[in-house]
Structure 1
Amino acid sequence: MSKGLENTADLYSGKLFLLVGPSGSGKGTVMEEFKRKYKGFVYPVSYTTRAPREGEKNGDVYFFIGKEEFEVMIEEGKFLEYAVVHGEHYYGTVKEEFLAPLRVGAAVMREVDIQGFVSIRDLVPKENLVSIFIKVGGGDEELVARILRRGEMSDEELKKRLESAKKEIAMADDCDYQVENLWGQAMDCVAEVEKIVLDEIEKLG
């Protein structure tokens, strides 16, 4: 779901890089490496109604808020896009955290699921958007193992997440690039994404 931009005449001179992929694909690892190495990039923080996982800090990758507060923000038109993920939790990105940096020529990076990508793709000009799908190497068994590494869950929850992941993987061709992330070789994946990003920035002149 998305809300239309208030000023469609805005000119954007920056680039928005979306790291797209299912839960457990490793897009968060790629993101963390970029945040460590490229301090000049803008990394917008999204909002969610799910509870923080172990080690997550409010305001780092997500702002954790209640459902009622999230729905007020929807009514106020604050989100560039938002979605209900796995049928239970809201996730959303605030417009100005993305669009303001793009107007001044910044490089902006964010990890999103496929729903977020589809919504943002329809709102941000194609010439300002680069989407990179992070693929899980090793097939279904590896995908299940990675999902389980994110924390304990019921068989029903695992089934729901696996079904969501397969739907996302089926849409990988919609992205501009695809990069495989093999278990134990995350830095190879990071290096490949880094090359794509730097090549795209160079095109800006």
Structure 2
Amino acid sequence: MTTTPARLTVLAGPTAVGKGTVSADVRARYPQVWLSVSATTRPPRPGEVDGVHYRFVSPDEFDRMVAEGELLEWAVVHGRHRYGTPRRPVEERLAAGEPALLEIDLQGARQVRDTMPGAFFVFLAPPSFDELVRRLVGRGTEDEEERARRLETARVEMAAEGEFDHVIVNDDVARATDELVRVMGVTTG
């Protein structure tokens, strides 16, 4: 029996919109969906586990991965750290017919649109910009300078909503997760 390759779904949106929270909810409630683990040069935040939340790598290792074509996409995010999607695990899951989800930033989503034009692109939007600011300040993981940098990036990212195939407003995590899995076409029964 031949397995039909699955379609890749890309979830992107502005900083602090809750991409990681929605992805964690997908991981917890929909184990049939495979979530890509991005590589990053940034240090782990409290509670993050290497290989689960991100693959934390040195700048030299990231350079090697880029040079050897091991990343499906990569970008410098907020002008500081690099993030990228390891290519091989994504291709293996799709070839096996498994639903695959990438949670990435806008720059990465644009690269994936070029490299995998058959992917489905979902924009996760906040209920309002004020709510986005509240979430960023409330998580307490960035200093004032970093928050300002991220909010400036978020303004640019919000303007890209029209580039996506589907928009989900993250006003409730469980509802947003359920909508994401539904538009991915994942069988939940």
Q: TM-score, normalised by structure 2?
A: 0.90
Q: Which residue of 1 aligns with 2:13?
A: 21
1:41 Cα shift?
2.3
Pairing 1:41–2:28 present: no
Q: Deviations over 1:109-147 (max 9, x none)?
A: 121110110001111132xx11111101132x2111111
Q: Which residue of 1 aligns with 2:125?
A: 135
C-alpha distance 54-60 of structure 1, shift in aligned 2 (>3 A): same
User: Which stretch of structure 1 is more off in the superposition, 155-164 or 114-123?
Assistant: 155-164
1:188 Cα shift?
2.0
Unaligned runs of 5+ in 1: 1-11
Q: Which residue of 1 aligns with 2:147?
A: 158
Question: SS of the counterpart of 2:35?
Answer: coil
Question: SS of the counterpart of 1:110?
Answer: strand
Unaligned runs of 5+ in 2: none
Pairing 1:192–2:179 present: yes
1:152 Cα shift?
4.3
Pairwise mapping of residues 1-205 of structure 1 onto structure 2 (< 5 A)? 13-126=5-118, 129-139=119-129, 141-182=130-171, 185-198=172-185, 201=186
**Aligned amino acid, residue 167 of structure 2:** Q
Question: SS of the counterpart of 2:82?
Answer: strand
C-alpha distance 45-152 of structure 1, shift in aligned 2 (>3 A): closer
- Percent of counterpart pairs with the same letter? 35
Whether contact under 8 Å (2:45, 2:141) holds in the other structure is: no
Question: Once superposed, which parts of structure 1, at least 4 consecutive aligned residues long, lie more than 4 Å away?
Answer: none
Aligned residues: 185
2 CA distance for matches of 1:75 and 1:40? 32
